[in-house]
Amino acid sequence: MASGLPHSPRQSGCVGLCVPWLKCSLNKAAHHTSDYSSTEVILRRGQAFTISLNFQTTNCCLLFPLAGPSPAESQHTKVIFNLSDEGASGWSATQEHSEHGCMNFTIVSPANAVIGRYKLKLQIDSGNKFSSVLLGHFVLLFNPWCPNDDVYMANEKDRQEYVLNDSGIIFHGVEKYIQQEAWNYGQFEEDILDISLAILDRSLNHRKDPSIDVSNRNNPIYVSRVISAMVNSNDEKGVVEGKWNGKYRSGTNPLHWSGSVTILRKWYRRRYKPVRYGQCWVFAGVMCTVLRSLGIPTRVITNFNSAHDRNINLSIDKYIDISGKTLHLTEDSVWNFHVWNESWFIRRDLGSFYDGWQVLDATPQEVSKGIFQCGPASTKAIKEGDVNLDYDSSFVFAAVNADCVTWIHYSNKRKERIYSNTRKIGKFISTKAVGTNSRVDVTDNYKYPEGSLKERQVYKKALKLLGVSSTGRRTKVTRRRRRFSVARRQNMTVPTGKPTVSGKLNLDASPVIGQDILLTLSLRNLITDFKTIKVKLSASAVLYTRKPKTEILQWSRSIQLGSEEVKEIPFKISYSQYKNALMDDRKILVTALCEVRQGNSLLMEKDILLQDPFLTIKVFGPTVVHKAANVQVTFTNPLSETVTDCVLRAEGSGLLKEQLQINVAQMAPMESSTIEFEIIPYKSGTRQLQVDLVSNHFSDIKGFVMLDVTLVQ
């Protein structure tokens, strides 16, 4: 595509052209594009814009908006129409009131026009000769304000949040301890729109057939799916390279990112070399930036206890040995959380019932039609179990609605099912609220209430559409018969009868990094008979994907329970035990396997997320555009050892044009440190300042503050 600023009269060779030919400030304000840090004219489709022309001749003139390589009228990438006329393509020009020989025209693009960078040409008919003059360039985006655009969003507050808000919150953690992290989307920052268009131009589709690819860019279904493939680097040398194992010495630890701007600029400035490294929230944050910059309303979604069902049978099977240690006998997994996106548009390919929020996932988990991409999948299709509909609705359905089954795998290859949970997957599906930083639960958008008749019907419908007959929920009678028949065939043992013992793992206090973790195992005898229970307890450092990495603790003991007796067994995981094993995720999985004589085995698990100490951020004085403001960040070393090599990073759209990095002096145990720096805001409005303390001694400690920046003091 061509690039550059609108040409001046002398540059274009058209002496009679009025300047400015495209009333930049006026058009940008009307098209809600004033926030873009660009001198280019940026417009939204389906909406009028104005130009001024000064003719020294009254001959007929034609305008040529051109988009992409090899533009053609048949592919809607080349448009020809007379001034004061409406072309067959839907573009039109109307002459308005003129003064001093300067003719004003209002041009309207169709609501389904191809988005991208356009050339605007003027063709003058001089009888037997045509001359063509380049007037300049403009960028055309999707338009959520236009009722006829496929991305139309009726509520203004929603548009402000999902299109114009350049910062946000991404939720993470575990289902019982949900944390929030600030993210700088920065879709209006310098170069970001150019980079977003470059991402489209680097796709496999564009390299295969540029003309067809560009002609399809009128469709948000097509554009969003291409972006979901290009944000990861697996197939197309896209923006971010994922990594979930090992060290990150050859790149950046995914936890160190606080926004999309640095990532996108790095990819662009290094000539499209994938940026190392990302994980799910990074992919989702970057994709939100790109889609919002192109005008598609988009938000970030977090699904807690998210299933990765490799064979799409809606059952997540986990295997452990007799000591409770996880065995890698299946590729299925349950992540503590997984982050994806939703974008808002209509589904002409599926029907109006499926309009609205569409799931998109750029994290490279599974191949879809030969490429690591996912979506758009209608949330309504997922809720109704319509797993046969495009795109990838079966994968997302499993992520929020699969069953969990845990088996003991004995040395003789016999299996015993000891745990089954139909309600564990897809908990507290979360997104940022409109207008505030609070959490909104959107689980009801994805499924009916767990255990309800409607939910069971939808689940069975999904199984049928997937052709799954040997797994899934059934009525009590048929399910038990099926499980016994499967057990006989596969040398499995299926527990029968009511449980005789119950148990629970409890944290005695909130776990904080640098301190011992105190827990209690509570066991209850549910019957009057005396019971002997062999307890095998283990603890491992895990990733947020719940993949165990390093064993921290393991012990076993026998517990006697009298008639209906309850016993509480306290234990601890000391800091010295976990400090060298803990991963950046700060997560520990505690497992207690209880073997009951003459009864069923019992499995208990506890996900522990160690809390970081807090940063305190103070901004002194009022924050005013182009005036310096002082920031003070205070942090206390929580460890019983000296901390060295710390770096404080800060960023925020409208506050800092580039990420700021400050080296921090070493801190003795429990010592506090204060770091000061200066910001000079360059945009008004509500702004988010993010601060991140990075150290080799503990994972990132992050904080943020919201600032109201004014134009004048």
Q: Return the percentage of the chain with pLDDT > 90, whole number.
A: 65
Same domain membership, residue 624 and residue 596: no
In sequence order, the 6+-apart residues with CB closer than 8 A to the CB of 579 are none
pLDDT score for 649: 95
**Full residue range of the structural domain in which residue 248 is found:** 165-466
User: Domain for residue 437, yes or no?
Assistant: yes
Same domain membership, residue 250 and residue 391: yes
Same domain membership, residue 375 and residue 409: yes
User: Domain for residue 89, yes or no?
Assistant: yes
pLDDT score for 202: 96
Residue 486, pLDDT > 50, answer no
- Name which of 92-96, 330-334, 423-427, 614-618 the model is least confident about: 92-96
**Catalytic residue list contains 361:** yes
Question: Which CATH number do you get for residue 621?
Answer: 2.60.40.10
**Residue 605 in marked binding region:** no
pLDDT score for 104: 81
- Name which of 7-16, 321-330, 498-507, 645-654 the model is least confident about: 7-16
Q: Does an H or E element contain 243, and which?
A: none
Ordered DSSP codes for 269-293: HTTSPPEEEE-HHHHHHHHHHHHHH
User: Domain for residue 485, yes or no?
Assistant: no
Same domain membership, residue 505 and residue 444: no
* Active-site choice (14, 61, 146, 280): 280
Structural domain ending residue among the three candidates 589, 609, 629: 609
Number of domains in the chain: 4
User: Domain for residue 146, yes or no?
Assistant: no
Same domain membership, residue 332 and residue 256: yes
Q: Return the percentage of the chain with pLDDT > 70, whole number.
A: 89
**Catalytic residue list contains 584:** no
Same domain membership, residue 623 and residue 592: no
Distance of CA 357 to the CA centre of its chain: 14
pLDDT score for 245: 85
pLDDT score for 599: 67
pLDDT bucket at 64, cuts 50 / 70 / 90: low
This prediction has a pTM of: 0.91
pLDDT bucket at 489, cuts 50 / 70 / 90: very low
Same domain membership, residue 654 and residue 570: no
Same domain membership, residue 439 and residue 384: yes
User: Domain for residue 474, yes or no?
Assistant: no
**Residue 99 in marked binding region:** no
User: Domain for residue 5, yes or no?
Assistant: no
**Residue 403 in marked binding region:** yes
Residue 470, pLDDT > 80, answer no
Same domain membership, residue 598 and residue 641: no
What's the CA gap between 592 and 630, in Å, rounded?
51
Residue 102, pLDDT > 90, answer no
Same domain membership, residue 646 and residue 571: no
- Name which of 15-19, 347-351, 393-397 the model is least confident about: 15-19
pLDDT bucket at 103, cuts 50 / 70 / 90: confident
Same domain membership, residue 623 and residue 545: no
Residue 497, pLDDT > 80, answer no
Q: What is the mean pLDDT of residues 438-463?
A: 95
Residue 477, pLDDT > 90, answer no
Structural domain ending residue among the three candidates 448, 466, 484: 466
Residue 488, pLDDT > 50, answer no
Q: Report which DSSP code applies to 543.
A: -
Structural domain ending residue among the three candidates 573, 592, 609: 609
CB 14 within 8 A of CB 53: no
**Partners of 278 in beta bridges:** 242
Q: What is the mean pLDDT of residues 413-440?
A: 91
What's the CA gap between 454 and 401, in Å, rounded?
13
Question: Which CATH number do you get for residue 178?
Answer: 3.90.260.10
Q: What is the mean pLDDT of residues 218-246?
A: 95
User: Domain for residue 19, yes or no?
Assistant: no
What's the CA gap between 309 and 332, in Å, rounded?
5
List pLDDT tens digits, range 353-392: 999 999 999 999 999 999 999 999 999 999 999 999 999 9
Q: What is the mean pLDDT of residues 100-110?
A: 83
List pLDDT tens digits, range 593-649: 998 876 678 889 999 999 888 889 999 989 999 999 999 999 988 888 898 889 999
Same domain membership, residue 375 and residue 293: yes
**Catalytic residue list contains 280:** yes
CB 691 within 8 A of CB 615: yes
Q: What is the mean pLDDT of residues 53-63?
A: 60
Q: What is the mean pLDDT of residues 112-139?
A: 83
pLDDT score for 52: 81
Burial 524-542 (b: 16+ CB within 10 A, else e): ebeeeeebebebbbbbbbb
Q: 633 or 92: whose pLDDT is higher?
A: 633
Mean pLDDT, the chain, integer: 88
**Residue 161 in marked binding region:** no
User: Domain for residue 482, yes or no?
Assistant: no
Q: Does an H or E element contain 651, and which?
A: strand 646-652
* Active-site choice (361, 585, 607, 692): 361
- Name which of 147-156, 373-382, 527-536 the model is least confident about: 527-536
* Active-site choice (338, 392, 646, 700): 338
Closest CA to 686 of 704, 712, 708: 708
Which three-class secondary structure state does DSSP give residue 212?
Answer: helix
Per residue, the 3-state secondary structure of 358-426, as one string, reads EEECCCCCCEECCEECCCCEEHHHHHCCCCCCCCCHHHHHHHHHCEEEEEEECCCCCEEEEEEECCCCC
List pLDDT tens digits, range 8-31: 333 333 434 444 466 788 899 999
With the C-alpha atoms ordered 474, 477, 481, 483, is the resulting torsion angle positive or negative? positive
